[in-house]
Structure 1
């Protein structure tokens, strides 16, 4: 993946688009990754599953119904009443 600062992006958007043609372009802000520029084809390829974002982020498929966490004895005891 290629990287470009936000300042460089603002000065030469055409260069950013050319660089994004060969793969995602990370645009940094103050040295930290802030944005990603993709071609429309790459963007569509990301959504090929046909699921919406909520479905893709859902962990329903990962649920293990047979999972039972072990009981934990915290070692607490009652304080006698005075």
Structure 2
């Protein structure tokens, strides 16, 4: 994936160039030299903002069974209570 940078002037001058560049990757639109917007294809937008998964779906993704996970056990100690 390539990232293309275009000034807002370049974008206004040749929108079709920007749309073609968005097929290869995101197009960063600059305003006075600073990034201000990103142009991407609609399919990429849907992929990035698509349906959020719940925890069960996320944990059942292919390939996760090969990841070793050994989190430390949480130790919860009771506190003493002063009732006086």
The structure 1 segments of at least 4 consecutive aligned residues displaced by more than 2 Å after TM superposition are 48-51
Please list, as runs of the form range in 1=range in 2, the aligned pairs for 1:40-59 lying within 5 A after superposition: 40-50=42-52
1:10 matched to 2:12? The reply is yes
May I ask how many residue pairs the two structures share in their alignment?
52
C-alpha distance in 2 between matches for 1:8 and 1:23: 17
TM-score computed with the length of structure 1 as normaliser: 0.59
Selected match of 1:19 from 18, 21, 30? 21
TM-score computed with the length of structure 2 as normaliser: 0.57
Mind listing any 5+ residue stretches in structure 1 that lack a counterpart? 52-82
